[in-house]
Amino acid sequence: MIDVGSAVEFTDPHIGRVVVPAADLQCRVRELGEAITADYAKRPPLLVGVLKGACFFLSDLARAIRLPIEMDFMAVSSYGSATHTSGVVRIVKDLDADLTDRHVIIVEDIVDSGLTLSYLRRNLAARHPASLEVVALLVKEGLQSAELDLAYVGFRIPPEFVIGYGLDAAERYRNLPFVAAYVEGVPPGTTTTLEQP
């Protein structure tokens, strides 16, 4: 877990209000790790991280699980560089692991329309895992058309575009230690200072 310090400053007008502070992220990820540790005690899971967004979530979560887990990664693309879904999901990098008879947990950064997740779930279920569950760090309220059956959820947030803790806007801002609203259409030259809470 990273130590964020008390007053990290970010001066970028695209970084809006903090939606989930760094301390809340770290605390909730620890709780999710404890829940998974309890639920999977007799069947250590294979964590499948969805790149790139879930990279920090997965690395923090994995260290909060006290079981001999394995990790693998998959990259899918459902967004271009814009902030709205294209509705098209494409596997950019597939898993190395064979999922047959494994207890698989998909580790997702954020569920927006739910299209990416329902595609992934169908795709991985077809590989005959012993069980298949999902842990999603963030779920946007009210946007999913179908019930997604998420075993573990970090936070439910308002339906706005967010950045940080792995989430990007056109590949930037992934390394913010908190989750913030993304501010579009800021006039050039505008500056704001954001104090880490």
Q: What CA–CA distance (Å, rounded) separates 142 from 135?
A: 18
> Kind and range of the H or E element at 38?
helix 22-39
* Residue 111 near ligand IMP by CB under 6 A: yes
| Contact residues for 97 (Cβ-Cβ < 8 A; gap 6+) | 46, 70, 72
- Provide the 8-state DSSP code for 114: S
The first and second tokens of residue 172, run together, are: 């930037």
User: Looking only at residues 157 through 176 of this chain, which bind ligand IMP when binding is defined by CB under 6 A?
Assistant: 161-162, 167-168
Q: Which of 46, 74, 115, 135 binds ligand IMP (CB under 6 A)?
A: 115
Comparing CA positions, the residue from 188, 117, 154 lying closest to residue 32 is 154
> Kind and range of the H or E element at 115?
helix 115-125
Q: Measured from the CB atom, is 37 or 83 closer to Mg ion?
A: 83
Q: Which of 22, 25, 50, 136 binds Mg ion (CB under 5 A)?
A: 50
* Residue 109 near Mg ion by CB under 5 A: yes
Q: Which of 16, 33, 49, 53 binds Mg ion (CB under 5 A)?
A: 53
* Residue 168 near Mg ion by CB under 5 A: no
- Among Mg ion, ligand IMP, none, the one that 12 touches (CB under a kind-dependent 5 to 8 A) is none
Strand-strand pairing, 46-51 and 103-111:
parallel
**Which residues bind to ligand IMP, rule: CB under 6 A?**
53, 78-79, 85, 108-117, 161-162, 167-168
**Which residues bind to Mg ion, rule: CB under 5 A?**
50, 53, 109
